[in-house]
Amino acid sequence: MSSRLKGMRSSQPLTVSVVIPVYQGQETLPSLIQELAQFTNAQKTPEGREFRVTEVILVWDRGPGASDHTIRDLAAKWDFVRPLWLSRNFGQHAATIAGMSSSGGEWILTMDEDGQQDPQFIAELIDCAYREHAQLVYGTPTNRAPHSWFRNMASKWTKRLFAQTLANGDFAEFNSYRLILGEIGRSVAAYTGAGVYLDVALSWVVAESRQCPVIARSEGRPAANYSYRKLSSHFGRLIISSGTKPLFLVSALGVIFFVFGILAVVWILIGTLLGGELISGWASTFSALMIIGGTLLLSLGIVAQYVGAATNMSLGKPLYVVVRDPLNTFSSGGPTQPENSA
């Protein structure tokens, strides 16, 4: 009887880089870093995988308040804290991408500064990634977020629209609590253009994404107040950076209008041949408008495809991304499982 090992795990724990974009985190960062400090020592997930946080990258996005002083104090106190200073305010997604590009871990964990996302779920996210062979895992809250009902509803349906319509393949509903395979995250950070929604860029190259249930906490400060204008701006950027799929919908709408116009013409001809009475002028006007409108929309959609091709290049959408053998990726972090053979 002989035995061989399947799914060998490296003797070293999995390394995780935590990236936190900082806008006004002077009230919440000290306690959040204190929580993350325990994970700098080797920990075990519920399924037996060893991991540790090797660095916490705090990306200062030049927000109001004294968050820059807080970052300096934390970097002086904790050797795993790495400050990253941006020249101006670029926004949450750009700051997150900047932190990802500077990371060095096998996995990258992104989270907000407000303390709403509990670091205790890092282990569950890692287990989900290896169990599902997912290059990207979102920590999806099972409880209601502490925002207005309108914002929660709009956020829910926007994410569902993106996941089911605009994203490539079976893409999980997104949020800012993400566990990303390091080589994927750094590749995305290297090529992504200005103004691109991070989750859109991830959907370009990620084969498998999953959701892991987590419990969201109350924010360690008054909840951020996003105006309807700012929320609309986020939605618009999501649509624009989604590439050519919205443009394809324009073409599809043109085809639908054109087909309805042709059907209306057929209905008019059949009615005339059968001696039916038609309202003078209405049917022909309706048919003409449908056919012309459909033709215009279809033509616009075709032109838009060319514009979309140029847009994809300006957004930095890659032709391909090379990664290591997936078998090696997801076997290195799993518990050792013996397989006996005669």
Residue 193 lies in a domain: yes
Domain count along the chain = 2
Check whether residue 259 and residue 216 sit in a common domain: no
**For residue 27, what is the domain's CATH number?**
3.90.550.10
Same-domain check for residues 237 and 293: no
Q: What domain range is 45 assigned to?
A: 8-242+320-331
Task: For residues 237 and 255, state if they share a domain.
Answer: no
Quote the pLDDT of residue 77.
96
Residue 263 neighbours by CB under 8 Å, 6+ apart: none
Residues 135 and 266 in one domain: no
The rounded distance, in Å, linking the Cα atoms of 259 and 294 is 8
How far is CA 13 from its chain centroid? 26
Q: Is residue 3 part of a domain?
A: no
Beta strand 107-110 pairing with 136-141 = unpaired
pLDDT for residue 291: 74
List, in order, residues 6 or more apart from 180 with CB less than 8 Å away.
100, 107, 108, 109, 110, 135, 136, 188, 202
pTM score of the predicted model: 0.70
- 185-214, pLDDT tens digit by residue? 999 998 887 777 788 888 888 888 899 999
Q: How far is CA 184 from the centre of its chain?
A: 13
> Is 169 inside a domain boundary?
yes
**From CA 73, how far away is CA 63, in angstroms rounded?**
17
Q: Are residues 119 and 16 in the same domain?
A: yes
| 84 is a domain residue | yes
| Within a domain: 339 | no
**Residue 222 contacts by C-beta under 8 Å, 6 or more apart in sequence?**
none
Contacts of 79 (CB under 8 A, 6+ apart): none
- The verdict on 156 and 44 lying in the same domain is yes
76, 181, 13, 56: CA torsion to nearest 10: 10
Q: Can you give the pLDDT at residue 339?
A: 43
Check whether residue 194 and residue 228 sit in a common domain: yes
Could you tell me if 61 and 135 lie in one domain? yes
CA distance 204 to 206: 6
184 plus 308 within the same structural domain: no
Domain-located, residue 336: no
Do 82 and 138 fall within a single domain? yes
Are 296 and 212 members of one domain?
no
Q: Residue 63: inside a domain, yes or no? A: yes
Q: How far is the C-alpha of 34 from the C-alpha of 144, rounded, in Å?
A: 26
Non-local (6+) Cβ contacts of 12 within 8 A are none
Looking at the structure, do residues 231 and 211 belong to the same domain, yes or no? Answer: yes
pLDDT in single tens digits along all 342 residues of the chain: 333 333 344 578 999 999 999 998 899 999 999 999 999 999 999 999 999 999 999 999 988 888 999 999 999 999 999 999 998 888 888 899 999 999 999 999 999 998 989 999 999 999 999 999 999 999 988 887 655 555 556 556 665 665 555 555 555 577 899 999 999 999 999 888 777 778 888 888 888 889 999 998 876 555 555 555 665 665 666 666 565 566 666 677 777 777 877 787 777 777 777 766 655 666 667 677 777 777 777 677 666 666 665 665 566 666 555 666 666 777 756 554 444 433
User: Alpha carbon of 292 to those of 8, 257, 279, 306: distances in Å?
Assistant: 64, 9, 21, 22
Q: Give the CA distances from residue 92 to residues 55, 62, 95, 110, 198, in Å, rounded to whole numbers and listed in that order.
A: 19, 11, 5, 11, 9
Residue 134 belongs to a domain = yes
- C-alpha dist (Å) from residue 213 to 125, 199, 283: 9, 18, 55
Amino acid at 293: G
